[in-house]
Amino acid sequence: MDSISEVIINAVEHSKNAVVKIDCFKSDGSKSTAAGSGSGFIFSSDGYIFTNAHVIQQAEKIKVQLIDGRETQAEIIGKDPDSDLAVIKIYEHNLSVSKLGESSNLRIGQYVIAIGNPFGYQHTVTAGVVSALGRTLRSITGRMIDNIIQTDAALNPGNSGGPLINTSAEVIGVNTATIMQAQGLCFSISINSAKDIANMLIRDGRVRKAFLGVNMQDVNLHQRVINFHHLENRRGIYVMSIEKNSPAEKAGLREGDVIVDFNGTLVNSGDELFRLLNKDRINMQSSIKIIRKNSEMISMNVVPIEKAA
């Protein structure tokens, strides 16, 4: 057997037992009717499971099926439609647990593997490469989800909420969406963003976030710009568009600006900025530094608001 196949097989063997099938139901008079299905993966020994918010969006009852055949009812801990992430919990013993990785270490061209339950076919495995990093995707609420991983590992309905793993069997993304009219355009939420969301959902049952109102993408900084401004950054956050009447618009940000610093902290990626835009920054004046198209460094103040529930 070739070495690449052996690596993928080994990664799947170490990961598949933590992947679950999720079936959702809602009441229809005196009976329950199916309200969708998807995938998830256990990330703690006490039964916490990652999935997508859209998988459980209409659920009044959730049934989880483990790889060993056990079926059990799950409780919704919290969901965040803006990021399309949700945490549910089951109360079972002897659970296999996914190893969570570090999405900031990903490289374009790196092998990745998706495990899920497309169209009910349990524990289906597909493989591909990381096609792009730092993408932005519109969520079910219409908000933009930043730091999306684009991959050509095939995803289909039912894969949603399942893990995207690397060849070391570490989860580096939560599979979330495909572009149905295209081939090989599949997307996953970075696990770094997902871990931050999970902590808030487990603690508060919801996510309180500060909101700037920009559509962003991670970019490399030109060495000339780095040298001219004596930057420690190697990357920045490119402002693709700005929402009307948003804090970003009021502060004076423009399309094409590249954010390199937020409130005195260097930011190389949307993941880093997202972590800084926590509930403590809501309605608090913060400084922001950007590189404008003419390579001019500009500092301005912005007052993030709380993102509407």
Q: Is 54 among the residues known to form the active site?
A: yes
Rounded to whole angstroms, the Cα distance separating 185 from 49 reads 25
Q: Which of 1, 39, 44 is nearest to 20 (CA)?
A: 39
Catalytic residue chosen out of the listed positions 139, 160, 190, 286: 160
105: DSSP letter: G
Secondary structure of 196-234 as H, E, C letters: HHHHHHHHHCCCCCEECCEEEEEEECCHHHHHHHCCCCC
Rounded to whole angstroms, the Cα distance separating 242 from 286 reads 18
DSSP codes of every residue in 254-292: -TT-EEEEETTEE--SHHHHHHHSSGGGTT--EEEEEE-
Q: Is 93 among the residues known to form the active site?
A: no
| 140-142-144 Cα angle (round to 5) | 100
The secondary structure element, H or E, covering residue 12 is helix 3-15
Sign of the Cα torsion 138, 299, 234, 283 reads negative
Catalytic residue chosen out of the listed positions 23, 84, 218, 261: 84
Tokens of 177: 């969406």
Up-side HSE of residue 254: CA atoms within 13 Å toward CB? 8
Q: Are 139 and 160 in contact (CB under 8 A)?
A: no
Q: What are phi and psi of 82, to 5 degrees?
A: -60, -35
| 116-119-122 Cα angle (round to 5) | 40
Catalytic residue chosen out of the listed positions 23, 37, 39, 54: 54
Range list of H helices, 45-163 = none
Catalytic residues: 54, 84, 160
